[in-house]
Structure 1
Amino acid sequence: MSARNDVPPSTVGVELLEHGVEVEYTDGRTTLYRGVPEPVTDTLTTPPKKETHVLVTDPTETEGVMLYVNDLKTHDDILEATGVGRVVLDDGEEEEIFPGVTVRRPGGMRTEVEADPEIARGRVFVFVEDDWSERSYEFVGEESEKTGDSETDERTDA
């Protein structure tokens, strides 16, 4: 099967932990995105060639929908078995992947994500990783950022 098609997501389980975000796929397996997510209030631009995963939770924060952006490695049947979706964009393209969440490819193998958690009606996380590093981000309202409601993680990206 192709690894270049858009694949619609299913609902996955989500558990918010002190040390990261755990996702339970529809096939029962789990993965942990480690670290306290860095707060983002504006546009998040990823470094080139990084895998970008976007997770939007429901208002209960126990379920969500996850999409891989421009993942060219994972085959459709694996995504369908796990409940993870995929969107593939060419340079210059953008798409609203969930209400209030837009991704675009500005060029240079980067991804830009913009999100409004109020419109999304849940929490919006972005996980950016490769074989050497893993970063977690959460879109927050500007008030949360100003009042320091979110903790940040001191990791650096290699």
Structure 2
Amino acid sequence: MSARNDVPPSTVGVELLDHGVEVEYTDGRKTLYRGVPEPVTDTLTTPPKKETHVLVTDPTETEGVMLYVNDLKTHDDILEATGVGRVVLEDGEEEEIFPGVTVRRPGGMRTEVEADPEIARGRVFVFVEDDWSEQSYEFVAEDRAPGDEEVDTDDTRSGDDAEPTEDGRES
């Protein structure tokens, strides 16, 4: 199967913890996106070649929908088994992936995400990672994080030294 197609997401379980966001895939496996998400109020721009995962919760914050943006490594059958969706964009393209959540490829292998949590009717998280680091972000209303206008994540932080699973996350 291809690894370059859009794949629609299914509902996944979500648990918001004081040390990160846990996602339970439809196949029963869980992954933990570690760290308290950094607030974002406008546009999040990722560094080149980073994996970008967008999670939008429902109003109860116990389930949500997750999409990988421009993931070219994960095959369709794996995404379908886990409930994770995928959107693939060319440079210069943009798409509203959920109501109130837009992703675009401005060029240079970067991804931009804009979100309005009020329109999304839930919490909007973005996880940016590679084999060496991971960062967590949450879109918040302007009045919750004054002064945050745009976050450029080129100043990556290193993750901790926990045992990673096959997909690079703690199980």
Partner in structure 2 of residue 77 of structure 1: 77
Indicate whether 1:93 and 2:93 are aligned: yes
Q: Give SS of 2:64's match.
A: strand
The one-letter code of the counterpart of 1:143 is: D
Partner in structure 2 of residue 44 of structure 1: 44
Partner in structure 2 of residue 106 of structure 1: 106
The one-letter code of the counterpart of 2:117 is: P
Aligned residues: percent identity? 92
CA distance in 1 between counterparts of 2:4 and 2:35 reads 30
Indicate whether 1:136 and 2:117 are aligned: no
Q: Give SS of 1:119's match.
A: helix
Say what the alpha-carbon RMSD is for the aligned residues: 1.3
How many residue pairs match? The answer is 151
CA distance in 1 between counterparts of 2:95 and 2:156 reads 29
The one-letter code of the counterpart of 1:34 is: R
Structure 2 unaligned runs (5+)? Answer: 147-154, 159-171
Partner in structure 2 of residue 54 of structure 1: 54
Partner in structure 1 of residue 151 of structure 2: none
Partner in structure 2 of residue 17 of structure 1: 17
With structure 2 as the length reference, what TM-score do the two structures score? 0.86
The CA deviation at 1:156 is 4.5
Q: Give SS of 1:14's match.
A: strand
The one-letter code of the counterpart of 1:91 is: D
Partner in structure 2 of residue 34 of structure 1: 34
With structure 1 as the length reference, what TM-score do the two structures score? 0.93
Partner in structure 1 of residue 63 of structure 2: 63
The one-letter code of the counterpart of 2:90 is: D
CA distance in 1 between counterparts of 2:19 and 2:96 reads 29
Deviations 1:108-153 (A, max 9, x none): 000000000000000000000000000000000011113xxxxxxx
Deviations 1:15-66 (A, max 9, x none): 0000000000000000000000000001000000000000000000000000
CA distance in 2 between counterparts of 1:49 and 1:157 reads 15
Structure 1 unaligned runs (5+)? Answer: 147-154
Runs of 4+ with >4 A deviation: none
The CA deviation at 1:157 is 2.7
Indicate whether 1:157 and 2:157 are aligned: yes
Distance 1:156 1:49, change over 3 A: closer
Deviations 1:74-120 (A, max 9, x none): 00000000000000000000000000000000000000000000000
Q: Give SS of 2:145's match.
A: helix
